[in-house]
Amino acid sequence: MLAVHSFIAPQHFPMKKKLIAMALAGLPTLTQIAPALAQQQQQTAALSPDTPVNLPGLYYDPDPGPSPTFRQLTTAEQAGYVEIPPLPNGVQLPYQVDRAWPQGATPDQILKFGDLQQNPVTASFTKLTLRDISAKQGTDIAGLPIGDVPLVYGLTVDEIDKLYTKINNGEKITVDDAAPAIQAALGVLYDPSQAGKQLQQAALTTGEKVLITRLSKIPAFKGIPLQDLARGNWQGVISKAEQIQLAGIGKKIGPTLKKLPVNQVVPLVGDAINGNWQQVRKRAQAYILAKGTDVAVKEVIKAVPELKNLPLGAVPDLVNQPIEQTLPKIADMAIEEIPGAKDKTINSVPGLSEIPIDKLPFDLAFSFFAGDLFARFDIAYSGVEGPEEPSIQHSLSGGSENQKFRPIKCTLGQTQNQRADNCPHFEMRKFISSPVAQATGDDDIEGKQWVQGDSGGKNGQGVKGGKGLLKWVNGGWEPAGIHPFGVNSHTKFVLKKITEYPDQKSTAKLSVAFQFCVMIPLLGQQCTPHFLVIPTPYVVKEDGLFLVASRRNLPASLARLRNQTLAAGVYCDPDQIIATAGQSDAGAANTKYGHLPYEETDEQLYEVTAVDGATVGLTQDAASAFEQMRADAAAQGLDIKAVSGFRDRKLQEELFSDQVAEQGSPEAAAKISAPAGHSEHHTGLAVDVGNNANPYLNESWANTPEYAWMQQNAGKYGFELSFPKGNSQGVSYEPWHWRYVGTDQAAATFNNSASNSQSQGSSTHSAPADPDHNLRQYLARIRIGESTDGTNWRPNPKTGAYGIYQFTPESRQSLLQRTGLDGWTRDRAVAAQAAVEWIKIIGAEKNVDLIGAIQRGNFALADRVLSPWQWTSLPGGPEESEVWSNPANFEKYGSTGDASTNAPATVASAGVPCKPSQVAGVPGSPGAIASNLNGQLGPFVQGDGITTGQFDLPTEYPITSPYGPRSLGFHRGIDYGTPIGSEIRASDGGVVTAVKVDCPQQGHLESRCGGGYGNFVFIQHSSGYVTVYGHLSATNVQIGDPVKQGQVIALSGNSGRTTGPHLHFEIRDPSGQRLNPANFLY
C-alpha cells in the first residue's frame, strides 16, 4: 500500500488562513446567535412549530488549555462487570456486551467500539483508521510493533486469512501471497522456534490450569489481557488470591503470551496445543512442502486445525515486527473492518486514549424550532459562600434511570438516587408567556433549578441513570442534567463551573454527557448511565436562552402541560418563541445560484497524477485515496487522471467570469461553474477527472468505462459524485466532478457548508425541477427491502412490523401520537408521508439532519442512522436485504436512480399541516384521520347467523400483544394493532348478545368503562362459543342481530382500559373460560 507521502513528491501551494474550527463537529449550529430580544413583541405571532429559530444565549468561549483526553475523564469508583445471561439458540448480539473493569478504570477501558456504533454521535469513531488516529497524535503507525497494538495482537490465523480474502475480492489467499504475519505463523517466515521453547516451559499446576480455564469461560473477561487481570483493584470481580495466581502464571508463560486475552491463553497452555507449538509448526511445514507454497492458507488450516485459533501473540519473533510490514493495508482499514474490533475496548488502539476529545469525530448537531420549549437563565448560585442547597422542591435537572427522565432535587449528602457535597445551580425563568401558560394558567418553568452535574457528587449533583444490566457501569451514576431531545437521544446537557461575578453576568460551562445502549433479545434495551462527559467550547450566561424540551420529546415533568395544551385546543400553536432571520457567528456567505459556500483550505497540498500539462493538488487524505483509486483502476486496464483539483478564489473568479461572458448571465454560468467562494475546489477535496483521451470535462465522460467503474467503486475510496442528475442544488449534471468524503473531517466540510447555508434563510439558487426526487428515491430504497416495494406488507412474525414501510407496533403507536399519521395504512401516499415524518423524528432524536442528508444525496448517512432503529433491511442494517448484494441496486435506489417512479407524487419533505380535529385521541376530535378509516359503517344488513365452526381473523392488522402473561397481568385474549376506525369483522357467524357504545374514546389504564373493555360487541355462536370484540369506536349492530362470518360489525377504537388504539379479541368456551384464540384462528 502506498504511504501518504510516497506517490509523488509534494508540491506546496499558497493557502489562506481558515476561520477558527469549532471543537465539536456539528456544534457550530448552536452558535446561531441572533440579536432578537428587542424584537420579541413583534415576533411572537403564531408560527409553524417547524419554523427554525436561532438561540441567543450560547457563547463560543473555549478553555485556553488543551481539551481533556479519555484518560483524563471520570474514573470508575469501583471494579465491576456486566454479564449477559444465556440467550436461546440462534439469538445473537451485534457484539460482545459482557465486560469487566477494575477500580479507577477510565472510559476507554470500559467502552467498546461496539458501544460507540450504537450511538450515532460516536458511530464515526469506528470509521477511523489506525493511521488516522496515529496522525491525530502526531506519530506514524507504520513502525509500531504488532505487540503494541492490542486491537490486532489477538487476531488469529483464521481471522487474518478471512480478512485478506475479503480484501482480495473473495479469492483464496495462497501461502506465497499471504501476509507476512500468516507466513510467520505457518513457519515459512521468521524463526518462531522461541515460541516452542517458551511454551514447553509453561508447565502449569493443576490449580493454575483450573483457574485459567474457568476465567476463559467468563464472557466479561474476553479481550482483557492476562497481565491486566493480574494487576489493579478488581475487588468483587476477581479475588486477591486469584490475582496472585495469575501473576505467577504470567511469569511462567513469559512477557509475550501474558499480553494475550485470558481466553486466548487457554489453547496455548491447555489441551489444544498442549505446549507443543514446534510439532504443530512441523506438521504445517510438511504439508506446505508437499503441496507447494501456492496452496491456499485455508487448506493448510484445514489440514492442521490447531492453527485456526492461534493468535499472533503466540509468535514471539513476530510481535516485535512493524505492523505495516507484517499486516500490510491493515493500518488504512477502518477500525470497524478489523475482525473482532466491536468487542475491543477503546484503549486497544494505541494513542486513541491520549487524543484530546475535541480532535475526535463526535457527530453532534442540533436544530431548534418554534415549537420547542425554551427557558432563560436567571440567578446563579455558585457556592462561593459555602455549599449551596436548593431550598424548594422544584428541579429542572435530574437523572434518567430506566430510561425515564426524572427531575431530582439536589440535597447535601447521599440518598437512594442522588448525591452531592454542594449544589451549585442556575434558577430558570420562562422566556415569554406561552400559549400553554395562557391556556392552563400555569407555567412549569418559572423558578426551576438546573443543578451543576457531577456523577461523583463533588461540587455538583450525581444522579442515578442507565437501564438493565449496563446500568451498573460507573456504579449507576451520571451527572445531573436535562434531556431536551428526550432520553432516546442518549445525550444529556450538563452545566459545569457555574461562576458568579461582581461586575458581569454569571456563566456556566456547557458539557454533553453520552450513554450507550444495545437492544438484547428477551431482555430489551440495556443502557449505561450518561457517564461519558465531554466538555464543549461553549458557555451559557445569565439572561441567555436554552432549550428545555424539544416539541417531539417532552420529558415527563412537562408532559402534563402538553396534554393540557391539547385539551385547550392549541395543539397547532405550542410554546411559541422568538424567531428571526438573524445573523450567524459562523460567518458563512449565502448560497449563490445553487452553490454552497466553501473556504479555502490551509492544509498542505500534494500533487497527484494528472493529464498532460496539468498540475493538480489535493489535501493529504484526498490525494492518497485518489492515487490508490487510480492505481486500482489502472490494474484493470482503466485510465483515470486528475484534470483539476484545488483552486483559490482568484482563479475561480476568473473561470466564473469567463463563463458569465460566454453564457450571458451569472445564473446560466452557475449551471456549469461556481462563483468564487462557492466552489468545492477551494477545499482541496474535490477533483475533476478525465484522461489524456478525454480531458474535456463534459457529459461524454459518463459514457466511458472509467466512469462506469467509478460509479461502482469510488465510494470504496471515499469519493462521491458532487452533482448527479437531479441534484438538490440545481447544478447541471457533472459526471467528472467528484469530492472526497472518506474521513469525518472531509465529510463535515460538505455537511457543515450545507448546514450553514440553510441557516441563512432565503437564497437565490434555482430549485431543481423535482426538489424531492432524492427523498422519493430514499423511500423506494426503504420499501424495496422492507416490503418488496409494498407488495409484501403482511406482519413480520418476529417483530410484528406491518405495512408498506413495516412499522413496528411501538413505532406506529408513537407516530400516531406525535403526528396523527398511521404507518400501517395501505394508502401509499399517507404511508409515504408517515415514513417521512418518522425519518424526521428519528433524526431529531439522534441529533442528525436526516432529511437534509437525504436531499443532498447522502444516503449512506441516512442508512447508518436508520438501519439499527427502524428499517433494518437498509444497507449495513442487522437484517440487510439481499437486494443490496447486487451493486446495480445501489445506483437504482441511489440519488441518481429512477426507482421512485412508484412513489406517491404528493410526498414532500415539508411535512404535513397540523390538524387537531384529525388527531386521534385529542379531545374534541372525531376520532380518526380520514386516511386511517379503511371502512365506513353503513346501515346494518342482517346476516345469516350461521356458525361454521371455524374462526377467521377479525382484522388483517398484526398482533401487538398475544395471549398469556405480561406486565399488566395475565392477558386472556389477543390484541391487534388496529388504527382507530379500522373495520372489525365477525370471526364466525352467530347472534349478537351484548353491545356497549357510550364509552369515551380517550382510553387509559384507570378506565373501567365497559368493565375495561370499553365499547364492545359479544357474539354467541351455535357451538356454544362466544367471541368478544373490545375497545371499539362504533358499531351498527344491536342485541339479537344475526351476523355472518366476515361481516363488518364495528370499527376499532381506543375506549376503555387501553394504552392506545387496538382491538382486544377473545374466544370463550361454553363454560365461559377464555381460551387462547391463536389455537382456533385460521
Domain boundaries defined on the chain: 373-567, 605-758, 773-902, 934-1079
Q: State the distance between the two ends of the chain, measured CA to CA, in whole angstroms.
A: 62
Report the CATH number of the 605-758 domain. 3.30.1380.10
Q: What is the pLDDT of residues 599-613, one digit of tens each?
A: 888 888 999 999 988
Distance CA 492, CA 482 (A): 6
- Output the CA torsion sign for 563, 566, 567, 573: positive
Confidence of residue 373 (pLDDT cuts 50, 70, 90): low
pTM: 0.49
Which is it for strands 373-381 and 99-101: parallel, antiparallel or unpaired? unpaired
Confidence of residue 1058 (pLDDT cuts 50, 70, 90): confident
Can you name the CATH fold of 934-1079?
Glucose Permease (Domain IIA) (2.70.70)
Q: Which residue, among 754, 741, 602, 621, has the nearest Cα to 678 in the 3D structure?
A: 754
DSSP3 helix / strand / coil % (the chain, rounded to 5) = 35, 20, 50
**Helical segments of 729-827, H only:** 744-758, 773-787, 809-819
Residues 6+ apart with CB under 8 A from 966: none
Residue-wise DSSP of 634-649:
HTTT---EEEE----H
Residues 6+ apart with CB under 8 A from 952: 985, 987, 988, 1045, 1046, 1081, 1082
Q: Report yes or no: 538 and 30 within 8 Å, Cβ to Cβ.
A: yes
Q: Which residue, among 191, 26, 5, has the nearest Cα to 124 in the 3D structure?
A: 26
Location of C-alpha cell 479519555: 70
Least confident window among 264-268, 287-291, 752-756, 1012-1016: 752-756
- CA 342 to mean position of chain CA atoms: 15
Predicted confidence at residue 800, as pLDDT, reads 76
| CA angle, 460 then 463 then 467, to 5° | 150
Measured CA to CA in angstroms, residue 642 lies from 607, 611, 818 at distances of 10, 6, 50
Distance CA 365, CA 744 (A): 14
Q: Report yes or no: 122 and 362 within 8 Å, Cβ to Cβ.
A: yes
Q: Which residues pair with 996 in a beta bridge?
A: 1016
Q: What are phi and psi of 70, to 5 degrees?
A: -55, -40
Q: For domain 773-902, which architecture applies? A: Orthogonal Bundle (1.10)
Q: Does residue 496 register a pLDDT over 90?
A: yes
Location of C-alpha cell 437563565: 377
Give the Cβ contact number of residue 69 at 10 Å. Answer: 18
Predicted confidence at residue 433, as pLDDT, reads 40
Q: What is the pLDDT of residues 12-42, one digit of tens each?
A: 222 222 222 222 233 323 222 222 222 332 3
Identify the residue with better confidence: 264 or 246: 246
Distance CA 265, CA 313 (A): 10
The amino acid at 685: L
Residues 6+ apart with CB under 8 A from 42: none
Least confident window among 360-369, 394-403, 757-766, 846-855: 757-766
Predicted confidence at residue 817, as pLDDT, reads 62
Q: Does residue 46 register a pLDDT over 80?
A: no
Distance CA 731, CA 673 (A): 9
Q: What is the pLDDT of residues 685-735, one digit of tens each?
A: 999 999 999 988 888 899 999 999 998 888 889 898 988 876 667 678 899
Q: Which residues pair with 399 in a beta bridge?
A: 406
Q: Report yes or no: 412 and 466 within 8 Å, Cβ to Cβ.
A: no
Q: Does residue 942 register a pLDDT over 70?
A: yes
Judged by DSSP in three states, 462 sits in strand
Identify the residue with better confidence: 469 or 572: 469
Distance CA 1045, CA 947 (A): 8
Q: Which residue, among 1039, 1000, 1003, 1002, has the nearest Cα to 1018 in the 3D structure?
A: 1039
**Helical segments of 514-648, H only:** 556-567, 620-634
